[in-house]
Amino acid sequence: MKRAALRSLLVLSSAGLFAQSLDSLLQRVRNCHLPAEQRDELVAAFSARDYSRAEAILERRSAAAGESPLAAELSALAGAIEFLHGRMAQAAEAFRHSDSRAPLDDRDRFTWAMALVKTADAGGARAQLTRLSAIHPATPLYLYWLARLDYDQRRYPEAIEKLQRVIRLDPESSRAFDNLGLALDMVGRSDEAEPAFRKAVELNRKLPHPSAWPPHNLGALLLRLQQFKESENALRESLRYDPRLPIAHYHLGRVLDAEGRDDQAIDEYRAAATFEPMVIEALYSLGLVYRRHERKAEADAAFAEYKMRKAQSSQ
């Protein structure tokens, strides 16, 4: 259950991985070396967030440019727009095409690495991030993402070592402490994971937009340690940041279940199963609570739904 409770580290929104702001990308579009009429057409498409049209314009112009430096420029710009559009395979190919003609700048190389992350090309992502980290050893961002790749590949000692280096470079990084806690927990060092999670939660509260994950991860650990009151507090903090986070609802349900607060536990299990159909453990736990209260029809329905979703998840 511990692994099921953890999010996949690499399932993230495109916006969260994007290395470039919309304003900076728009400026790139405005400054690209196209004839004025074509550039204006591209600016209009991008400003309207008609990314498909912008991509089509760039594809045509890049093909027409052949092997010239303009082709590399336009391919890199296409890669950034494809990434923003959520078309990761196309973004990765556009960056690869550009890099084969002229080396990408750091901004585009990092975006390329994130596109490779999203397409599950861990080897390709690692190669680009390793190159960036070697050039900029004092920049924690690249080392952080290398650590996340280590974690996803279950190379936990390597992830721990890199995350500790990230923290030395950036002691205010909530996400580095959070992921350090996850990695320590996976190798059974929960006594060290707990203070890492607590530090992540503390730093996370200071952010303009706190993430739901640090308090969730602390709450999940405290649940396993049967520190129910503190676990509840952490999980409720998580849900204040993201009221729809299904795994936080599930773990809060388990806390309330363990404390005999069954009506509240039922609400949390239902919420977990509603927001995320694949949190099937919530349905099983819901069935057990219903059975305990001799609510046979509801218990049977929960167990039937559990079996159906479990079968679907294994296909």
Q: Which of 55-64, 200-209, 268-277 has the highest mean pLDDT?
A: 200-209
pLDDT of amino acid 183: 98
What lies within 8 Å, CB to CB, of 183 at 6+ separation is 147, 150, 151, 156, 159, 160, 163
pLDDT of amino acid 19: 64
C-alpha Rg value of the chain to the nearest Å: 23
By percentage, how much of the chain surpasses pLDDT 90? 74
pLDDT of amino acid 14: 44
pLDDT of amino acid 25: 86
Tokens (6 digits) for 115: 């596109």
pLDDT of amino acid 92: 96
By percentage, how much of the chain surpasses pLDDT 70? 93
Name the pTM for this structure.
0.86
pLDDT of amino acid 62: 83
What lies within 8 Å, CB to CB, of 128 at 6+ separation is 109, 110, 112, 113, 116
Average of per-residue pLDDT values in the chain: 91
pLDDT at 3 over 50: no
Rounded average pLDDT over 93-110 = 94
Rounded average pLDDT over 245-271 = 96
User: Nearest to residue 193, comparing CAs of 171, 166, 225, 162?
Assistant: 225
Read off the pLDDT band of 1 (50, 70, 90): very low
Q: Is 8 helix (H, G, I), strand (E, B) or coil?
A: coil
Read off the pLDDT band of 279 (50, 70, 90): confident
- CA dist., res. 88 & res. 125, Å (int): 12
pLDDT of amino acid 18: 59
Instruction: Output the CA–CA distances (angstroms, integers) from residue 11 to 6, 16, 118, 157, 184, in the order listed.
Output: 11, 10, 7, 22, 20
Tell which CATH architecture fits domain 14-119: Alpha Horseshoe (1.25)
Rounded average pLDDT over 267-273 = 94
Read off the pLDDT band of 17 (50, 70, 90): low
**pLDDT tens-digit readout, 214-248:** 999 999 999 999 999 999 999 999 999 999 999 99
Rounded average pLDDT over 117-124 = 95
**pLDDT tens-digit readout, 30-73:** 998 889 998 999 999 989 989 899 989 888 888 888 778 888 99
Rounded average pLDDT over 149-159 = 97
Helix ranges (DSSP H) in the chain: 2-5, 14-17, 22-31, 36-47, 51-65, 69-84, 88-99, 106-118, 122-135, 140-152, 156-169, 174-186, 190-204, 213-224, 228-241, 246-258, 262-275, 280-292, 296-313
pLDDT of amino acid 7: 40
**pLDDT tens-digit readout, 182-191:** 999 999 999 9
Residue 58 or 16, more confident? 58
Read off the pLDDT band of 23 (50, 70, 90): confident
pLDDT at 157 over 80: yes
**Domain spans, the chain:** 14-119
Q: Are 294 and 270 in contact (CB under 8 A)?
A: no
**pLDDT tens-digit readout, 170-185:** 999 999 999 999 999 9
Rounded average pLDDT over 260-285 = 91
pLDDT at 5 over 70: no
pLDDT of amino acid 8: 39
